[in-house]
Amino acid sequence: MDHPELIRLGRKVLEIERDAIEALFTRVDDSFVQACELMLACQGRVVVTGMGKSGHIGNKIAATLASTGTPAFYVHPGEASHGDLGMITRQDVVLAISYSGETSEIVTILPLLKRLGVPLIAMTGKPASTLAQQASVHIDVSVALEACPMNLAPTSSTTVTLAMGDALAIALLEARGFTEADFALTHPGGSLGRRLLLKVGEIMNTGERIPRVGSEVTLSAALLEMSRKGLGITAIVDDDDHAIGVFTDGDLRRVLDSGVDIHRTPIEQVMTRGGRSVGAEQLAAEAVNLMERHKITVLLVLDADQRIQGVLHMHDLLRAGVV
């Protein structure tokens, strides 16, 4: 088979699955709303179940729900008949996925779910099937054609089921007012978690690594301190360690252009009074925003009394994966 033919076949699959997803638009209807309302009102967990390929899709839908504010987990329907049904409580909602709607492992547990009084949401391709008829709410995920040339292997049907699951999850996310900060709490190991949860105090330079000089020293002494600490800045402090200003590499270029005597000029005369700063309890993401807004690469970290707690450099944020 030549390359053009392989490309044609690949594109044909995508076209079939694209058309199948487009057909879902009209099925985001009252049944979709009822399913959302059941899950929003759920006091327990959304329990997702499905067999075979539907099970794989169900696992993904459960994971998406759980990570976007809707507590959920997957239960294998075969194992449910052998003890795992005990994982389902009266406070839960069950989302059962079966394209045929007749999957024996799921049909077997329907009477037990009814006995528990658990709301049942079914996603099938057969509205007249046993599962669809027994469900509290049925969502139609039928497709005109599988992408498989024999119209056998679940392809289009699994794609539209996954897409409908995503639609449910994101609709619930929006309805709950789920935020980036909430998302970060469920993804603490990811880059978003680091960006939203990491605090300045966890990554700032502290102790002997803080460049600081008194206001009475000369410019040359301040430059030596900057060189020793290598952060491109030094804080200027009073006798009680209150920050009264900063001197940076940028300030150095400015004063050298003016021709000052670095050995005689007090740093107090050429420093920038105040300077940009953050608190140790602020989020590192806030520090990034401040740096970007003012086009700077380093910030003093001060307490409520303006005493120096640390210095935060853009390189610290890069190493921590915040940027």
The token pair that represents 36 in the structure block: 């959302």
Min mean pLDDT across 1-5, 15-19, 107-111, 125-129 is at 1-5
Q: Is the pLDDT of residue 303 over 90?
A: yes
Between β-strands 233-237 and 243-248, what pairing exists: parallel, antiparallel or unpaired?
Answer: antiparallel
How would you list the strands of the sheet with 298-302, edge to edge? 277-278, 298-302, 308-313
pTM (predicted TM-score): 0.67
Residue the block writes with tokens 């005990």: 86
Distances (CA, A) of 193 to 158, 176, 188, 279: 30, 20, 4, 20
DSSP label at residue 266: B
> Which one, of 192, 193, 231, 195, lies nearest residue 210 by Cα?
231
- Write down the pLDDT at residue 230: 92
Handedness of CA 76, 80, 86, 90 (dihedral sign): positive
| Number of Cβ atoms within 10 Å of the Cβ of 24 | 20
Residue 195 predicted with pLDDT over 80: no
All structural domains of the chain, each given as residue ranges with its CATH number in brackets, are 3-178 (3.40.50.10490), 200-319 (3.10.580.10)
pLDDT tier at 185, thresholds 50, 70, 90: low
Residue pLDDT, tens place only, 149-176: 888 889 999 999 999 999 999 999 999 9
List pLDDT tens digits, range 230-278.
999 999 999 888 999 999 988 888 888 888 888 989 999 999 888 889 9
With a cut of 90, say whether residue 221 has pLDDT above it: yes
pLDDT at residue 48 tops 90: yes
Q: Which pLDDT score is estimated for 281?
A: 92
The closest of 178, 174, 170, 231 to 206, measured between CA atoms, is 231
- pLDDT at 188 (0 to 100): 61
